[in-house]
Structure 1
């Protein structure tokens, strides 16, 4: 028989988008995590590709990509040791010359695992390699899995997490869209995610960016 915590406090962080500045975005993770720790938050979700920004230029993405077994990521983990909450944040990962749209799970400076986006948008397919697995993780007795942004358009992505006994689905997202598309999708995002919850029986927490740039806007949703 499965047992679940009586209550657990989780948080979705909706920061201003910053492209190509991992140092600035690391500082944002630390700032918001410190605030969350003061409120007893056990888990914090940040947006898709948040560490380097959602960059879909092939050359720039490769320049910004980070290896999870490399020194740069080890240095990042060392900065996160003092954070008590489990952190989930997106980044551009490189492994054996392939790039992945990845969300990492970090607890007190230790990498617990990672999820690679399985369903890629047309503009991502020439840059990223799709993931093939749906790992789950546990915090304070609560099992959770991850879908990244566009993944939530596909029911099998959520049900693959639910089938492993998870109760919560985290959705790092980046919906910095052209204004017309942002208006069109403003309500659709939540409707689609609500449908995934009904199908899978999972709770869902999303985290998106906010702000405007060059004819684009992000309304969330977080």
Structure 2
């Protein structure tokens, strides 16, 4: 069976430090390139940091049509892999929690987070579910909290994708992190079983200001089982070969990592 090699990064969290984030992207991309990865995923809000108060978000937000963003884009590593990376975006004065899709040094599309937490009032919700393709593998995107809502994954499936990419940032108070430690994959597994989608998540890890993030960065198969996962609390790159499906459906057979 033909497969497409994907990878998801579990990284430190960078806040208002685009230089450091770009350095991490360059390092991770070089590793992915050496492993012949075709799709590489980074966490939610990765480029500027997951900043949700309006003052901070506006300070770092990027307009994709601006010279500033185009300058940053030119500094992304040249790679054959398609890159999905979380950013804080602005357009027409509105703010969005966005994942941009970069291919051949150009942005080929974006997904804006649809389901927003109460704490994300600074952002406007996205309304579109774009589908992308790399080497015959069709994928859509959810951002973190989106995966709590069956409709978000269902749309990705209905538009003919077989993979759901989840960019996440689960930096939480320690008490909340403990409570959710086993729930992230459990909830995402429900979405896989409902839709027949594979799912790959990319998350941050580390501690700051009394908060902690463990991950998980993982691949789940269409049965909702964890097919591959990085160790919690450690940075790294999860590499996995996703089988190309003839038809997406709710009862595809799951395969183990190559």
TM range (shorter): over 0.9
Distance 2:139 2:68 in 1: 27
Distance 1:98 1:221 in 2: 30
Distance 2:197 2:68 in 1: 35
Q: Residue 108 in 1 paired to residue 140 in 2?
A: no
Q: Residue 19 in 1 paired to residue 15 in 2?
A: yes
Q: Residue 211 in 1 paired to residue 193 in 2?
A: no
Q: How many residues align?
A: 217
Kindly indicate whether the alpha-carbon contact (under 8 Å) linking 2:53 and 2:120 is maintained by their aligned counterparts in 1.
no
Distance 2:104 2:206 in 1: 30
Distance 1:104 1:219 in 2: 24
Distance 1:16 1:81 in 2: 19
State the TM-score, normalizing by the size of structure 2: 0.83
Stretches of structure 2 lacking an aligned partner (at least 5 in a row): 218-258
Q: How far is 1:134 from its partner?
A: 0.5
Secondary structure at 2:120 match in 1: coil
Structure-1 residue corresponding to 2:160: 165
Kindly indicate whether the alpha-carbon contact (under 8 Å) linking 1:67 and 1:93 is maintained by their aligned counterparts in 2.
yes
- Stretches of 4+ aligned residues off by more than 6 angstroms: none
State the TM-score, normalizing by the size of structure 1: 0.96
Structure-1 residue corresponding to 2:92: 96
Stretches of structure 1 lacking an aligned partner (at least 5 in a row): none
Distance 1:34 1:158 in 2: 31
Q: How far is 1:69 from its partner?
A: 0.6
Distance 1:74 1:172 in 2: 22
